[in-house]
């Protein structure tokens, strides 16, 4: 009977260790994915900035070749291109930051859920008595909370 208890404890420790290892691996992978997502967002934002610069330069060139000065409506038009571009770049950064944070949050939630499920399974199925206290040879070992003045 004592050998069975030793095996239960070993199985519980191994199961708990595997669950922790999986949670750590999942968080590590999520951090790498979030970092890659943030880097992608930076690249997309830089590309958008270049696109806006090209579009404004093309508009400026078009106005000048048409014989217009860059004052008044042409200036407003170019400023509008930059304003819209800045708003677009801000939206790109916000969206990619939200994606990166979501990746981390989802991984954290999964890790905690998996660890909770492992603990619940261990509690319900082995290595623990009906009170949730560890057992030795089918005798529950009281938890420290049961001792008091």
Q: What is the pLDDT of residues 20-68, one digit of tens each?
A: 778 788 888 889 999 999 999 999 999 999 999 999 999 999 999 998 8
Say yes or no to pLDDT of 74 above 50.
Answer: yes
**Burial label, 34 (beta-carbon count in 10 A; 0-12, 13-18, 19+):** buried
- DSSP label at 135? E
Q: How confident is the model at residue 7 (pLDDT cuts 50, 70, 90)?
A: low
Tell me the CA distances in angstroms from 83 to 8, 10, 56, one per residue in order: 66, 64, 11
The 10s digit of each residue's pLDDT in 113-147 is 877 877 777 666 554 444 555 544 454 444 444 44
pTM of the full predicted structure?
Answer: 0.65
């Amino acid at each position: 009977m004592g050998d069975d208890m030793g095996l239960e404890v070993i199985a519980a420790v191994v199961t708990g260790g595997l669950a922790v290892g999986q949670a750590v691996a999942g968080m590590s992978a999520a951090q790498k994915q979030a970092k890659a997502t943030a880097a992608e967002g930076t690249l997309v934002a830089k590309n958008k900035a270049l696109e806006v610069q090209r579009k404004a330069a093309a508009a400026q060139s078009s106005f000048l070749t048409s014989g217009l000065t860059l004052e008044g409506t042409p200036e407003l038009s170019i400023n509008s291109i930059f304003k819209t571009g800045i708003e677009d770049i801000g939206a790109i950064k916000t969206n990619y930051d939200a994606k990166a944070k979501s990746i981390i949050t989802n991984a954290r939630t999964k890790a905690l859920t998996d660890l909770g499920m492992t603990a619940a399974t261990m509690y319900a199925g082995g290595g623990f008595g009906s009170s949730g206290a560890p057992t030795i040879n089918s005798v529950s070992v009281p938890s420290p909370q049961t001792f008091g003045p």
